[in-house]
């Protein structure tokens, strides 16, 4: 909402050639980067050990990196939606719809393999889908599970790989890389794409203002 309102000032200053769009966009990204990093780091550091997730240092580091990438993707997506919306109010109304669809297609509530063949590509557009798969792999990969609390006759999952296989039949693979690092790359690419879309949308939607001839205005006076 703040970005949508400040665009009125930015477009006016761009029209007067005070600065370029690239200068504004880069400055905005750099200025907001510390805040985009601080939230995930503080939140992740508290929740990770409070919940008792994988105690391996590498797993904790990957957990924080995934949260940071999700935060940056969400910011970029918000910029893209706001840039493409006719007004800040329209962006505020549209954003929750997109978020709900991403949550539904994230793989937590609906198994991706159960979707009709024609729309199985839709989850690839969801930030939550890549984040969920990355966090699941980060937590369960290489983990041995106990079956002591399982009743006789009930199914028992003995390894973390079985959990991953049950949730993701076709795990993500990018450039021959699999596992949590593939999901980090996917989120990084997603972040670059949504920011590129936001930048191009802003460049194409720039307004034109009437130029004032100061010499004629002085003669009129």
Asked whether the predicted pLDDT for residue 88 surpasses 60, the reply is yes
90 DSSP 8-state letter:
H
- What mean pLDDT do residues 174-198 have? 90
The pLDDT value given to residue 59: 92
pLDDT tens-digit series, residues 60-76: 999 999 999 999 999 99
Tens of pLDDT along 15-62? 777 778 888 888 888 988 898 899 999 999 999 999 989 889 999 999
Tell me which residue of 79, 89, 6 sits closest to 36, measured CA to CA. Answer: 79
Residue 219: the pLDDT is: 54
pLDDT of residue 82: 85
- Residue 64 confidence (pLDDT): 95
Distance CA 129, CA 103 (A): 8
Q: Can you give the pLDDT at residue 50?
A: 93
Mean pLDDT score of the chain: 83
User: Directed axis angle between helix 21-51 and helix 57-84, to 10°?
Assistant: 140
Task: Report the 3 state secondary structure along the chain.
Answer: CHHHHHHHHHHHHHHCCCCCHHHHHHHHHHHHHHHHHHHHHHHHHHHHHHHCCCCCHHHHHHHHHHHHHHHHHHHHHHHHHHHHCCCHHHHHHHHHHHHHHHHHCCCCCCCHHHCCHHHCCHHHHCHHHHHHHHHHHHHHCCCECCCCCCCCCCCCCCEHHHHHHHHCCCCCEECCEECHHHHHHHHHHHHHHHHHHHHHHHHHCCCCCCCCCHHHHHHHC
pLDDT at 220 over 70: no
pLDDT for res 168: 81
pTM across the whole model:
0.82
User: What pLDDT score was predicted for residue 4?
Assistant: 65
d(CA 112, CA 135): 16
Question: Which of 118-122, 151-155, 169-173 is predicted least confidently?
Answer: 151-155
pLDDT (tens digit, 9 = 90+) per residue, 187-201? 999 999 999 998 898
Bridge partners of 177, per DSSP, are 174
Question: pLDDT at position 66, please?
Answer: 94
Instruction: Give the C-alpha separation, 52 to 74, whole Å.
Output: 26
196-203 LR contacts (CB < 8 Å, sep 24+): 197/80, 197/83, 198/25, 198/76, 198/79, 198/80, 198/82, 198/83, 199/21, 199/22, 199/25, 201/80, 201/83, 201/84, 202/7, 202/21, 202/25, 202/83, 203/21
Convert the pLDDT of each residue in 95-148 to its tens digit: 889 988 888 888 778 777 777 878 878 888 889 989 999 999 999 888 887 777
pLDDT of residue 217 exceeding 80: no
How far apart CA 221 and CA 213 sit, in angstroms, is: 13
Q: What pLDDT does 121 receive?
A: 84
pLDDT of residue 213: 56
């Amino acid at each position: 909402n703040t970005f949508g309102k400040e665009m009125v000032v930015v477009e006016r200053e761009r029209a007067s050639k005070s600065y370029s769009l690239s200068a504004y966009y880069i400055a905005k990204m750099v200025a907001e980067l510390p805040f985009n990093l601080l939230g995930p780091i503080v939140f992740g550091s508290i929740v990770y050990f409070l919940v008792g997730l994988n105690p391996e240092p590498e797993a904790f580091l990957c957990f924080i990196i995934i949260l940071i990438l999700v935060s940056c993707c969400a910011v970029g997506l918000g910029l893209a939606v706001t840039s493409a919306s006719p007004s800040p109010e329209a962006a505020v109304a549209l954003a929750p719809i997109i978020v709900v669809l991403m949550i539904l297609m994230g793989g937590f509530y609906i198994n991706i393999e159960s979707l009709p063949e024609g729309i199985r590509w839709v989850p690839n557009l969801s930030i939550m889908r890549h984040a969920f798969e990355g966090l699941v792999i980060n937590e369960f990969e290489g983990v041995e599970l106990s079956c002591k609390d399982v009743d006789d006759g009930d199914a028992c999952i003995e390894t973390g790989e079985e959990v991953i296989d049950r949730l993701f039949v076709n795990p993500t693979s990018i450039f021959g890389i699999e596992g949590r690092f593939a999901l980090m790359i996917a989120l990084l690419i997603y972040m670059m794409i949504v920011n590129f879309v936001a930048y191009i949308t802003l460049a194409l939607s720039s307004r034109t203002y009437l130029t004032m001839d100061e010499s004629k205005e002085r003669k009129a006076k």
